[in-house]
Structure 1
Amino acid sequence: MAGYTYILADFRRGRTYIGVTNDLVRRIYEHREGLADGYTEKNNIKRLVHFEVHETVPLAIQREKTLKRWYRQWKVALIEEHNPDWRDLWDEIVK
């Protein structure tokens, strides 16, 4: 079963949240609709700005843990490498 790591942001270079899931569309939908209690709901963080696909959920979990230990500037560089304008990638994953 595939796993996904993802980064949400409230706006360009704003607050971010890193998560992991086995169903990216469902999980991002939950964040967007305020169904995911906690940090993202409290801080209105809904924009999907980066995601990665992994062969298994344990690999995705390991990547999430790694990303959470990164310095902020490394996370920003990762996002901007593939999404320099911090566009919301929601439309790309629901196609």
Structure 2
Amino acid sequence: MMADRYRGTIYTGVTADIGRRVEQHRSDGGSRFVKRYGLDRLVYTEWHDEIELAIAQEKAIKKWRRQWKIDLIEQANPNWEDLSHLINA
């Protein structure tokens, strides 16, 4: 999940290469939504062994209420810190 700031706009997506996808979003090569709202902070990730499971989870989360998404993020990342440095380690 990408965001612009603490409790700001949230984008949920799925990818097989999260590091590359975050860089695409930051260089305006990602989705139009991310570009439009300036979402440059990776605030939540989930890892799945099978892409079908990841896609199903993404679709489910996209249907959630905003507060549920905030709760999910804050369980793992209470300060909405940018986690991208962890994926490139």
Q: Normalising by structure 2, report the TM-score.
A: 0.96
Determine the structure 1 residue equivalent to 2:75. 81
Question: Pairwise CA RMSD of aligned residues?
Answer: 0.7
Q: Which residue of 2 aligns with 1:3?
A: none
Matched, 1:39 2:33: yes
- In structure 2, runs of 5+ residues without a counterpart are none
Choose the corresponding residue for 2:62, options 68, 75, 81: 68
Task: Indicate the residue corresponding to 1:9 in structure 2.
Answer: 3
Q: CA deviation at 1:56?
A: 0.8
Cα shift at 1:42: 1.1
Q: TM-score, normalised by structure 1?
A: 0.91
The total of aligned residue pairs comes to 89
Cα distance change, pair 80–37 in 1 and its aligned pair in 2 (3 A): closer
Greater strand percent: which structure? 1
Q: Percent identity, please.
A: 43
- Distance in structure 2 (CA, Å) of the matches to 1:32 and 1:90: 11
Distance 1:42 1:69 in 2: 21
Higher helix share: 2
Q: Which secondary structure state, in structure 2, belongs to the residue aligned with residue 14 of structure 1?
A: coil
Q: CA deviation at 1:37?
A: 4.0
* Structure 1 residue ranges (4+ consecutive) displaced by more than 6 angstroms after TM superposition: none
For the residue of structure 2 that corresponds to 1:20, the secondary structure is: coil
